[in-house]
Chain A
Amino acid sequence: MVTQTTVSSPKAATAASAATALPDHFEAFADARKLSFIKAKEFKESGGRLAGYLCSFAPLEALDAGGLAAVGLCGTSNETVPDAETVLPKNLCPLIKSTYGFALTQKCPFTYFSDIIIGETTCDGKKKMYELLADLKPVYVLQLPQGQQRPYAAEIWKKELELFIAEIEQRFAVQIDDAALRQAATRRNRLRQALVELYALQQATPPMMSGVEIMTTILQGAFSFDIEEYTEKLQALVAEKRAAYAAGQRPVAASARRILLTGCPSGGLVQKVGMAIEENGGVIVCLDDCMGERTNRLMVDDQAEDICQAISDRYLEIHCAVMSPNATRQDNLLELIKRYQVDGVIELVLQACHPFNIESAHISTLLEQHDIPYMKLETDYSPSDSGQLQTRIAAFIETLAQ
């Protein structure tokens, strides 16, 4: 089966028809998970539609404009990796395995209740996994250009967006016009701006928040059905942290070394790496990954005449390592290091992520040239190397303290 727009496998049909029924193993789940299932079920029963996305390249304005709630489904837990490995190779990115595993085991309420899952042809691991995911869930994959530089790249990516919009319209019997897209872009920009302001708390010396707290906040936000509400929550949080800081509260020690995380998505490494940094004399001041500044600093020009082009241009600008070449990542990284007064850079490479792993050679050279301490950590979601990572991270922070 090669079509990405229609799904005819029996398993997928079953999942789609059982749109609001709870999974078979529901009773075995922990309470927090049960609550999330109930929340998603109620949302569906009240007429809500869920679209899962798996990457920052997913043009969310199209989903918003089509009246679907977009939820991030990137797997961040080792829990479902063993199940995923019954189908997928062991030597594969843990994010891909975890994501697929959650769909396979029906353990993630948002994956389970999603009416459609959106993917893009980013890395090889993801795009081939989507073919298998399509046996479990309705999946639509956008075809991403391999780089931004060709004169036609912006054109074909806009065409992909238009095809995607047409798919949403047809599948969910909705009309998506320019006005709806424009309004969605304005709302998304507001959310992006709120996130940028959250990140900016860390520009203070010492920073206004623990980086782990920021990461956790953003991860939880990926499950918000209402982006307006999420935006307001973020704005309130930023205001609260600013006020506390102005009142003299210093949640982070002045001696904490300022760390920038770059590389692969860090969502699955909050405990193993994020906490290890902040328990060993460091503080994460900047996330140069797809839940951080790399992506959310980019705004859609919501006043543009051609709103579709403006939206697709915004997404094409994301400098993920799947793009080749990806030189703008380097310029942006240097700018972030300066703006956040970074003491050291830690690059996170998820096991078997060839794009970021190979690109790390560029980053290492670049930072060496600028005399900025750099360490690469290649890891997965399992706890097997936690002790080693603790030592490496603590030692790296000690070298910054010399």
Chain B
Amino acid sequence: MKPHTAPGQLGQIGLSAAVQPAASEAAPQLGRPAAPASPIAPIAPTAPTATGQYRIGIDIGSTVAKAAVLDATGELIHTLSLPTGYSSVDAAERLAAALAADGFAVGELPVLATGYGRISVPWASAVATEITCHGRGAAWLFGPDGVVLDIGGQDTKVICLAAGKVRRFLMNDKCSAGTGRFLDIMADRLGLSPDGLAELAATGRPAAISSMCTVFAESEVISLIGQGTPRADIACGLVESVVTKVASLAAQMPGDVYYLTGGLCENSYMLQRLSVQLGTEVQSVPLARYAGAIGAALLIDTGQITDNAELGADQLVAGQKAHQRSNAEKAGGSW
């Protein structure tokens, strides 16, 4: 696929609160919610030719490890994902094997790694943070301006994009409230998959769950179960808890349009509730779970990476010149 494709072609599932009031109606249109660990509509690899023309972005998240392959023209030609599991080093090895099986030999291709496990990818030629990668990936998927909401496994990020670049960002504090991990734990407690939880939530009325702390919230859930509260109502209350937390973070960075990335990108009920709470449209696409990996692959030719040891000298010099230029401008600036 190409960047900034028209929404229809991407199967965009942008939901505005006004257009899609009822979650139960919205859900069927979105098709089957997929398990986070399996690739969504995997793109069949085209037969690789000369190795130099591909670049690979790797995003080792706390829950899911993802890869995206771009060709020389910047087209996304392959994605894959697998559970991170216990060890991010092991996840990186499994990703390498899976990529090799699909015809992409990581040792011979430029690779940029991101995510909390980015330092565990020995075959990556560079690393960058997930903020930059998600921002760049979202700009590619959705457009250069807007606010990206990334609900990740262990943290939630709000990234303000301007002209395709990260202008500002926020992350949740050291707490799993409002993250994918919160939903995972609660789904497990309710005997559901995370997507099953969201599906069921759409049919319930929110039970009050006031604790932001995952551990305390779990105690509340146990109490609600004990009181015989319907499972759908508890599920609905849990989604509401995440949505409220994410929306309060996002409210600090107002935008006309929000894009949801991360493992919940196909979760229609989550999108709908976020749209309602934020009072504006929250869009997503199935590929948005790969936003970090796509962004990582895109960064390879921009020089915007922290470990630039592997970068070409030309890029480094260009970066330094830009830096000096910007400083010179500041020194003579208006203020």
Contact = CB atoms under 8 A, between A and B. Distances in A.
A341 B330 contact: yes
Given A338-B333, A384-B174, A401 B129 contact: no
B121 to A, nearest CB: 16
Interface string A369-402: 0100100001000001101100110111111011
Contact of B128 (A205, A378, A385, A398): A398
Interface string B90-102: 0000000000000
A352 to B, nearest CB: 13
Contacts of A399: 131-132, 165-169
Contact of A388 (B128, B155, B304, B308): B155
B166 A205 contact: no
Q: How large is the interface on A (under 10, 10 to 19, 20 to 34, 35 or more residues)?
A: 20 to 34
Interface string B303-320: 011101000000010011
B174 A255 contact: no
B331 interface: yes
Interface residues of B, number: 30
A5 B116 CA distance: 53
Contacts of A397: 306
Interface stretch (B17-25, B184-192, B321-329): B321-329
Interface in A202-227: 205
B335 interface: yes
Nearest to A339: B331
A399 B164 CA distance: 11
Interface in A339-364: 341-343
Nearest to B319: A255
B130 interface: yes
Contacts of B132: 395, 398-399
B155 to A, nearest CB: 7
Contacts of B116: 387, 391
Interface string B156-173: 000000000111110101
Contacts of A257: 323
Contacts of B174: 384-385, 388
B323 A398 contact: no
A385 B173 CA distance: 8
B156 to A, nearest CB: 12
Given A205-B327, A338-B331, A385-B174, A395 B316 contact: no
Contacts of A370: 335
B171 A388 contact: yes
A254 interface: yes
A368 to B, nearest CB: 9
Nearest to B132: A398
A243 interface: no
A125 interface: no
Given A280-B306, A391-B131, A398 B166 contact: yes
B21 to A, nearest CB: 36
Contacts of B168: 373, 399
Contacts of A391: 116, 129-131, 171
Given A341-B327, A384-B174, A395 B304 contact: no
Interface of B: 116, 128-132, 155, 165-169, 171, 173-174, 304-306, 308, 316, 319-320, 323-324, 326-327, 330-331, 333, 335
Given A343-B326, A394-B129, A402-B166, 4 more contacts: A255-B319, A281-B306, A342-B330, A398-B305
